[in-house]
Amino acid sequence: MRLSSRAENVLLPIAAVVLALLIGAVLIALDGANPWTAYSSLLQGAVGSQDAISRTLERATPLIFTGLAVIVGMKAGLFNIGAQGQLLLGAVFAAWVGYRLDLPTVLHVPLGLVVGGVMGMLPAALAGYLKAYRGAHEVITTIMLNAILINITEWLVGSRGPFHDPEGGAISRTPAIEPSARIPRVAGIDMPSGFFLAVAVAALIWFLIGRTTVGFKVTTVGQNKNAAQYGGISAARITVLAMAISGFLAGVGGSIETMGVFGRYESGRNAGLGFDGITVALLAKINPILAIPSALLLGMMRAGQTKMAFDSKVAPEIIDVILAIILLLVCAPIVVRWLLRQRRRDETGPVNVQLTSGWGSS
């Protein structure tokens, strides 16, 4: 029997991960290392101790936010490639709020998160406006804005920039944020509270998309813009709104990195988080709740890759190769379907396969 649509949405990403790990094992063996030792070290570095688990949750937190940012855009039929730049802008302005102001923690932390979110929202909303009212494709505009935002943040924290730490010398970074701006850790278990905030936000986005009028309008525009217009929904406004929410989420993800992990903004520490969010979103089949385990998987791999490289003497970039293979298989589900059904094809005859699909369809 054919798998149900819901079962495929769960099994296909799992199959993609397993296949990617198997291919990664072959590459590790070709590099002269033991795949079992490499993966054991990876797991040990990700969940082998309380510190390792804490590190995994820290790595997963911004990935949940950037994954959600991509998911919200995709629900509206948009592909926000600019989460990386939006995250960086949110991170650097959250640092500015953190070191410039002296407020009680109950005000300082929320203000930093909101300011970071708003700064991430502004360029995303601009891309949404250009898409809705000028017809500019959001993939092109967000890629271009990525380059602009990355260079803006580099200038802000550079040696001549207004946010530069005078004690940092040639290091591009901001001053350390005030203790009142640090996101506290969960007492007793020493876990990052930012992760639990990310889980709550994922649940909120799931409710917003699936249980509210705004969510209905977003998904309707994403499925058929003309039908939405015919039904009285302003596709242009929804496009701008969806991109604004997407950018806000990415900016909050960067703010949590600054205020909950590093205690300042430093150039290079947040590299790739926005692009990994695309993998999270696709692996989750653009389901906000499934973004949590998807981000945890990537967080585990990022947290454990250093120990894997040290213990097994393989290049840490092998993790990037595995993640790229996962992304390839998730983006091309026909390959995974063919591998899963090949045996059944031999037994029951040819199986019709859908060659193309929209975001999140099976």
CA triplet 341, 346, 349: central angle to 5 degrees?
Answer: 90
Could you tell me if residue 54 is inside a domain?
no
Same domain assignment for residues 224 and 346 = no
Same domain assignment for residues 125 and 20 = no
Amino acid 355: pLDDT: 38
Amino acid 339: pLDDT: 56
Give the CA dihedral 181, 185, 186, 189, nearest 10 degrees.
-170
Same domain assignment for residues 302 and 349 = no
Written as tens digits, the pLDDT of the chain (362 aa) is 455 666 666 777 888 888 889 999 999 998 888 899 999 999 999 999 999 999 999 999 999 999 999 999 999 999 999 999 999 999 999 999 999 999 999 999 999 999 999 999 999 999 999 999 999 999 999 999 999 999 999 999 998 999 999 998 889 999 999 999 999 988 666 788 999 999 999 999 999 999 999 999 999 999 988 889 888 999 999 999 999 999 999 999 999 999 999 999 999 888 888 889 998 998 898 999 999 999 999 999 989 988 998 888 888 888 888 888 888 877 766 555 555 565 455 555 554 444 334 454 43
Could you tell me if residue 332 is inside a domain?
yes
Could you tell me if residue 50 is inside a domain?
no
CA distances from 100 to 108, 176, 178, 251, 354 (A): 11, 10, 8, 19, 55
Residue 104, Cβ density class (10 Å: 0-12 exposed, 13-18 middle, ≥19 buried): exposed
| Number of domain units in the chain | 2
Same domain assignment for residues 297 and 324 = no
State pTM to two decimals.
0.88
Same domain assignment for residues 165 and 261 = yes
Token pair belonging to 101: 């102001």
Same domain assignment for residues 113 and 199 = yes
Same domain assignment for residues 279 and 131 = yes
Token pair belonging to 25: 């094992």
What is the C-alpha end-to-end distance of the chain, expressed in Å? 16
C-alpha to C-alpha distance for 319 and 304, rounded to whole angstroms = 9
Nearest of 52, 111, 56 to residue 302 by alpha carbon: 56
Q: Domain range holding 281?
A: 60-178+191-313
Same domain assignment for residues 259 and 217 = yes
Same domain assignment for residues 144 and 277 = yes
Same domain assignment for residues 227 and 340 = no
Same domain assignment for residues 321 and 307 = no
Residue 72, Cβ density class (10 Å: 0-12 exposed, 13-18 middle, ≥19 buried): buried
Same domain assignment for residues 309 and 319 = no
